[in-house]
Amino acid sequence: MQRMFTGLQPSGALHIGNYFGALKPFVELSKEYESFLMIADYHALTSLKEPAELRANIVNVAKDYVAAGIDPAKAVIFKQSDVPEHTELAWVFECLVTVPFLMQAHAYKDKVAKGLEANAGLFAYPMLMAADILLYDTDVVPVGQDQRQHIEYAREAAAKFNNAFGETFQEPKERILETVAVVPGTDGKKMSKSYGNTIPLFGTKDEITKAVMSIVTDSDGERPENVHAIHRAFKTESELASLYEANTKNYKAIKEALIEDIESLTAPMREKRDSISDADAKAILQNGAERARVFASAKMKHVRDKIGISI
């Protein structure tokens, strides 16, 4: 069976962009693949320095995964920091790639361009992500468009290691679905926690309504493009065409239709999520960590042999 791996940062509440870009394809593919789903807590540390918030987010994201339809008895759900081989392998990759190569990374370049302070963790971020993926001999990584470059970095890390020390890692492939590669937020830009333009995946109906009603609409156009762009994640083009034609210029009705679509997706997930306790979530992560470590420690032992540190 081939392997699938993906991860999400517990840097805030998950939004519908995370769902369509990563979680939904993960759920759909998990029947065909041996599946690993990680909470990228060390990645979140590059931006979040609030221990209480991080702790709460980790438990919440574990619940979100299960509520979104991932079966913890099948998929290995774990948090990155529970498997120290991730940070260990990241160091090995950091010793193989160059500074100019890492300087090309979008996440790093964006921070620098905005005049923000980029910490060294953010700079080395792609190598930790490469370690996440490569430790499990991953075949496919379902992600949104914004992660494409990071998967390329993972392939590059694999190739660099294999060149230096012999065939060890296989090169993974990203899986990006065109219609939901970049789910836009309420302002038309990419939906992102850091832009404050999200529609929460586990928000109450009121929160969802408020977010949808705040979608910026251009009153001159034929149709409200920003609403339509989000709606594409929920309905086919032909369903959308008839809905938008029947309601030309009636932006309120169109937004209400979108709210209904979001509700019918999220209400059952919300209900399921409410039935999962903190203790359940922690037990799932503990079990996942044990299962993940079986793979990660075997792979890392192999790596240590190859690079010459096991004597």
Binding site for ligand TYM (CB under 6 A): 5-9, 17-18, 20-22, 40, 43, 129, 132-133, 141, 143-144, 146-147, 150, 180, 182-183, 190-192
Q: Which is nearer to ligand TYM, 147 or 276 (CB)?
A: 147
Closest distance to ligand TYM from the beta carbon of 276 (Å): 20
Indicate the length of the chain as a whole number: 311
Residue 293 sits at the vertex; the CA angle it makes with 290 and 298, to the nearest 5 degrees, is 140
> Is residue 239 within a helix (H) or strand (E), and if so which, with residue range?
helix 237-246
Minimum CB separation of residue 163 from ligand TYM in Å reads: 22
- Residue 25 Cβ vs ligand TYM, minimum distance, rounded to whole Å: 9
Taking the least distance from each CB to ligand TYM, the nearer of 146 and 256 is: 146
Q: How far apart are CA 303 and CA 161, in angstroms?
A: 9
Q: Which residues contact 170 (CB under 8 A, 6 or more apart)?
A: 134, 137, 138, 139, 158
Q: Which residues are catalytic?
A: 111, 190, 193
Cite the DSSP H helix spans in 95-236.
99-103, 106-113, 120-134, 148-165, 205-213, 225-231
Nearer CB in complex with ligand TYM: 125/245: 125
Least Cβ distance, residue 56 to ligand TYM (angstroms): 16
- Closer of 101 and 247 to ligand TYM (Cβ): 101
Neighbours of 122 (CB within 10 A): 21
